[in-house]
Amino acid sequence: MTKIMVTGGAGFIGSTLVPKLLELGNKVVVVDNFSRGSREFLPSLPELEIYDADIRDTKEIERLAQGCSTVVHLAAFGSVVESVSEPTENFSVNVEGTFSVLKAAKSSGVQKLIFACTGGALIGNALPPVNERSVPRPISPYGASKLAGEGYCCSFAHAYGMDITSLRFANVIGPQSLHKKGAVTNFFKSIIDSQPIVIYGDGSATRDFLYVDDLCQGIINGIQSNLSGFNVFHLASEKEVSVKQLAELCIEVSGHANHPIIFEPKRDGEVDRNCASSLVASESLGFVPKCDIRDGLVKTWDWFNANYSGQ
């Protein structure tokens, strides 16, 4: 039985990943400060340990990582828009926090670390589809913080002989994402609240949407791989969808025909287009997304409709 630490394990992605790791026979240590995550999304099992801790507390993370073979580092300040208004906090959590986790993992003898990165925000404005050879030019503090974190991951892999994989996530959708600062969450909340859907810009901006179960399988494949040193992979659906198309799909799957959409000025820091190739992840990790965007939105809507009671 393998012991795996998941930072941010009570968040949207973490609370989906942790039960899957337990089902595979692993012991799991969740570290979360519960600023946005929730204990209610995690099972109560003897194989699961849950700790309220900040990833910037290196000594505490080092203590909790004892006996773990792998760390999955999901904890992050994850909003592009909020990173523009709060760049210092974004830097503290994403850069200093990642350095702290890396240092604790090294000191605790952890050999393997999976780093949750981003494709769009890290690369910046580039002609899609981007891939692992695309040159990063982030246009938001969030993207810059993830590029810095990836740089430290690369350096720790080479300097200390650790096996570190950076997984660049597409825009993730799915249940248990109520606290997520993303378009799908905002759109479904607006529909339930009988408020217009707000699109920032003219709706032509594009994103690559990936269902959370597919993403988690990619993370598991990364954990189970025999890759050595530092590696980078894009986990993406390879389907470019405009924000306007996304809003129309959300309205369609919710059954609220003719729900109003309004347009506001584009926000700073957000990329114009975002879509990535997952060919390298497919070849090296066996990563193959199974859920298309419509099915993913149906599952997400069903969860929001059952769990979100309104403003």
Domains along the chain with CATH numbers: 3-174+208-239+275-290 (3.40.50.720), 183-204+240-273+296-307 (3.90.25.10)
Is residue 76 predicted with pLDDT exceeding 90? yes
Q: How far apart are CA 209 and CA 184, in angstroms?
A: 10
**Identity of the residue numbered 298:** V
Is residue 291 predicted with pLDDT exceeding 80? yes
- Least confident range of 20-29, 106-115, 247-256, 302-311: 302-311
Percentage of the chain modeled with pLDDT above 70: 100
Q: How far apart are CA 9 and CA 29, in angstroms?
A: 8
Percentage of the chain modeled with pLDDT above 90: 97
Which residues make Cβ contacts (< 8 Å) with residue 10, sequence separation at least 6?
Answer: 30, 32, 34, 37, 38, 39, 41, 42, 50
Mean pLDDT of the chain: 97
One-character DSSP codes across 161-172: --EEEEEEE-EE
Average pLDDT over residues 113-117: 98
Quickly state the pLDDT bin for 242 (edges 50, 70, 90): very high
Catalytic residue, candidates 142, 152, 200, 211? 142
Q: Which helix (H) or strand (E) holds 175?
A: none
Q: Answer whether 216's CB lies under 8 Å from 291's CB.
A: no
Quickly state the pLDDT bin for 113 (edges 50, 70, 90): very high
pLDDT tens for each residue of 243-276: 999 999 999 999 999 999 999 999 999 999 999 9
- Catalytic, 142? Answer yes
One-character DSSP codes across 30-55: EEE--SS--GGGS---TTEEEEE--T
Which residues make Cβ contacts (< 8 Å) with residue 247, sequence separation at least 6?
Answer: 183, 187, 197, 199, 203, 261
What is the Cβ-side half-sphere exposure of residue 5, based on CA atoms within 13 angstroms? 31
Q: How far apart are CA 254 and CA 171, in angstroms?
A: 20
pLDDT of residue 173: 98
pLDDT of residue 310: 83
pLDDT tens for each residue of 221-236: 999 999 999 999 999 9
CB neighbourhood size of 178 (10 A): 16
Is residue 311 predicted with pLDDT exceeding 80? no
Q: Answer whether 197's CB lies under 8 Å from 244's CB.
A: no
pLDDT tens for each residue of 182-222: 999 999 999 999 999 999 999 999 999 999 999 999 999 99
pLDDT of residue 181: 86
